[in-house]
Amino acid sequence: MFKKTAFTIEEQLQKLKDRGLLFSNESIALKYLSHISYYRLGEYWYVMQEDKEQHVFKPNSKFNDVIALYNFDAELRLLLFDVIEKIEISLRTKLIYHPSHEIDPWWFQNFELFSDSMALTKTLSNLQGELERSKDVTIKNHFKNHKDDKRFPPAWKSLEQTSFGALSKLYGNLKPTVKAKDTIAKEFGAVNHTFLPSWLQSIAQIRNFCAHHSRLWNRNLPNTFKLLPKPPNPWIVDKENVPKQFNKLYVHMCLMKYMLNEIQPNNLFTSRLDALFTKYPNVDSNALDMKPNWQQEPLWQ
């Protein structure tokens, strides 16, 4: 049975001191602990402990470094959320445009176009809930003016109300016979539909981490996506810099950069990411699997 009791903020600070963490200003540290939970900060000081069972810190471990790492991670999430927003809006636009012209504006509720009918049923159920809860004037007016039409509003209205995760599932579930599936993939530099679904799933997962303020630094991420063997657009030239493990953030950021270069060729992702590492020089970039001189690769130019 779990028997631990809650500690006061003062007791939390004392426990950290007893375990060897150094504080330059205890009053400021107490302020931080009053606004950021001990448990949340623990995700950042965990790597500073030499004894993980007794939670004893390595010599010269500093609370200031914990806060710097926490702030770095928070700013990284904001940066990636901004990048993902552009990818999400682009995907939404392409899913509205291409299938609507190829088929009709209600393609997304045509079960004949999808491989997994149960998955589509779940997606449409969630979409219905979003539309029913929506305060958007366009949606309200549509239902008011088209009471006799029992279909969803057309794609340009309905798909503006759903999540990035739902959009990625809709795309992935489309049958390969739908021409728009390859068209959209090519417009993102993914060559064909076999690669893009796994990219979108990866980005949707990271978007959820960003939206819920979850740690990205030193996190193990889903590693199920497929890399292009011969990307048609600038990628990584130095084979030593091609990520060997797909469960760290760097390769996911490479995918985002690759797609963003198609959406916004003159984007500032590289300079903003580089500036973040410059601002926090003590952050261990190996925890993200960053490669040496990553800024010099064609992908990041």
Closest CA to 79 of 294, 288, 283, 268: 268
Confidence of residue 2 (pLDDT cuts 50, 70, 90): confident
Distance (Å, whole) CA 199 – CA 76: 20
Q: What is the pLDDT of residue 242?
A: 80
Say if CB 167 and CB 159 are below 8 A apart: yes
Please report which helix (H) or strand (E) contains residue 252, including its range: helix 249-263
User: pLDDT for 69-105, tens place per residue?
Assistant: 999 999 999 999 999 999 999 999 999 999 999 999 9
Is it the case that residue 278 has pLDDT exceeding 80?
Answer: yes
Angle subtended by helix axes 63-102 and 26-35, to nearest 10? 30
Buried b (16+ CB within 10 A) or exposed e, 186-219: ebbbbbebebbbbbbbbbbbbbebbeeeebbbbb
The average confidence (pLDDT) of the chain is 95
Three-state DSSP string of 223-239: CCCCCCCCCCCCCCCCH
- Residue 5 has what pLDDT? 87
Find out whether 47 and 258 touch, Cβ atoms under 8 Å.
no
Please state the rounded mean pLDDT for residues 247-271. 96
Give the pLDDT score at 238.
Answer: 87
26-33 long-range contacts (CB < 8 A, ≥24 apart) are 29/63, 32/63, 32/67, 33/9
Average pLDDT over residues 54-77: 97
Predicted TM-score (pTM) of the model is 0.94
Give dist(CA 144, CA 140) in Å, integer: 6
* pLDDT at 240 (0 to 100): 82
Percent of the chain at pLDDT above 70? 100
Burial of 160: CB neighbours in 10 Å, binned 0-12, 13-18, 19+: middle
DSSP string, 146-195: -TT--SPPPHHHHTTSS-HHHHHHHHHHB-TTSHHHHHHHHHTT-SSTTT
Domain ranges across the chain: 9-61, 69-300
Structure tokens given for 253: 């950021």
Rounded to the nearest 5°, which phi and psi values hold at 50? -85, -25
Average pLDDT over residues 125-145: 94
